Amino acid sequence: MNGERPRWAQISGWGMYVPERVLTNADLARVVDTSDEWIVSRTGIRERHIVSDERETTATMAVRAARRALRVANLAPSQVDLVIVATTMPDYPFPATACLVQDALGAARAGAFDLSAACSGFIYALSVASSFIRSGSADHVLVIGSETLSRMADWTDRNTCVLFGDGAGAVVLSASTERCGVLASELGSDGSGGELLIVRAGGSRAPANYNTVSNGEHYLRMNGREVFRFATTIMPKATEAVVRSAGWQLADLDLVIPHQANIRIIESSIKRLGLPPEKCFVNVERYGNTSAASIPIALCEAVAQGRVHPGDKLVLVGFGAGLTWAAAAVEWGVPVPAKPKPGLRVLTDFLFGWAGVRSLWRRTTRHVYNWILGPVGKDDWRGRMRQRADRLRKGSGK
């Protein structure tokens, strides 16, 4: 690490994952009182991907996206310094989903934490990761947005259940001495609007109990019209602010990658900015709103479709529960398509496989120690071992 020369945080790898199962508007019309016509005309969404296997979670999707991003970056998991997972739907209240991801990847040297800023979470995480890199505290950071909103949706509430989908997107941010990557970011919040998009129970205010469950308070609730109004105002403002911070003009932008919540919000924001529609990337029709995962998924697809080139000026911009908003100005610094190093790829794949063995070994040794030392601790471990040996000799086995 070099603390003297200016450092920049460039996107060196990217990857996405969505579950296989596709839920179309026609499928939804069989479950709630809605229609393909209503959903397409009000939101632009035609289908979304939904987890169907209970073993598939926010962490498992994050791991799949992260492995792809590491392969593109030609980076071994052990080179990652930090894993940040932006999510509204972690696997557990704790441990952090990022720790599960760190273990599954075998990122043995990495710190790991979750970041909660709803749909703005990925850009918040990108900004935090960029600060770690620019200050010299990290060289490579995995930034992941992953969501399983289908498990928080009330499938009887047509106002919300038609909007959301599941998936994960990841980028690797790496230190660079070239001025590129995340050049500026703008983060904002207005907690007075917290009620507009909320899950009322499951936290310290209303821990889970019979009433919270039977009243459906663990489901996501939203005042769609208010959120819509907020979004169409804040997206252009945040974009303008970050463009100014980066020292750019709006006309310099090559591509805007907005949070994919609703085509009407996206079109209104782009129009207010005076940008032509072709400067905006949209894929909401195929994924719905995947919250913190929507922007990295859109970024991956934009790259795959040849919409991003070295030197391009991008703005990533989002809004969400909180209320929160965030924008990042990114100058693309690496070749596309990525140039994989075949030898390194074989090694990385081996290390991903090895991560499972490593994790199993650590769990097993912890169990063995626990069995030997017992619940009290290691103060009298020799005595305990002697006792266990005596019992085994006497044939009790305990």
Active site residues: 119, 259, 289
- Is residue 233 a contact residue for ligand UT7 (CB under 6 A)? no
- Is residue 158 a contact residue for ligand UT7 (CB under 6 A)? yes
Chain mean position to CA 44:
23
**Cα angle, residue 256 at apex, residues 51 and 82 outer, rounded to 5°:** 60
Give the x-and-dash track for 311-350 against ligand UT7 (CB under 6 A).
---------x------------------------------
- Is residue 225 a contact residue for ligand UT7 (CB under 6 A)? yes
Half-sphere exposure of 196 (CA within 13 A, CB side): 19
- Selected from 43, 58, 146, 239, the binder of ligand UT7 by CB under 6 A is 43
Based on CB atoms, which residue is closest to ligand UT7, 224 or 374? 224
- Selected from 115, 182, 238, 261, the binder of ligand UT7 by CB under 6 A is 261
- Selected from 38, 113, 248, 381, the binder of ligand UT7 by CB under 6 A is 38
Q: Could you tell me the sign of the dihedral formed by the alpha carbons of 125, 131, 133, 137, in that order?
A: negative
Based on CB atoms, which residue is closest to ligand UT7, 69 or 153? 153
Per-residue DSSP letter, 395: T
Give the x-and-dash track for 130-149 against ligand UT7 (CB under 6 A).
--------------------
H/E element, 170: strand 166-176
Which residues touch 119 (CB under 8 Å, ≥6 apart)? 88, 259, 261, 289, 291, 292, 294, 318, 319, 320, 321, 324
- Is residue 228 a contact residue for ligand UT7 (CB under 6 A)? yes
- Is residue 224 a contact residue for ligand UT7 (CB under 6 A)? yes
Based on CB atoms, which residue is closest to ligand UT7, 86 or 222? 222
Based on CB atoms, which residue is closest to ligand UT7, 225 or 398? 225
371 burial level (CB within 10 Å; 0-12, 13-18, 19+): exposed
For residue 90, what are the β-bridge partners? none
- Nearest CA-CA partner of 181 in 366, 339, 329, 352: 329
- Is residue 241 a contact residue for ligand UT7 (CB under 6 A)? no
- Selected from 84, 117, 119, 182, the binder of ligand UT7 by CB under 6 A is 119
Scanning the structure block, which residue is given the tokens 């990022």? 98
Contact by Cβ (8 Å): 44, 264: yes
- Is residue 205 a contact residue for ligand UT7 (CB under 6 A)? no
What is the SS3 assignment for 317?
strand
Part in contact with ligand UT7 (CB under 6 A); list of ranges 92-100, 147-155, 169-177, 219-227: 219-227
- Nearest CA-CA partner of 293 in 153, 111, 112, 88: 88
- Is residue 221 a contact residue for ligand UT7 (CB under 6 A)? no
Binding site for ligand UT7 (CB under 6 A): 34, 38-39, 42-43, 119, 158-159, 162, 197, 222, 224-225, 227-228, 231, 261-262, 289, 291, 320
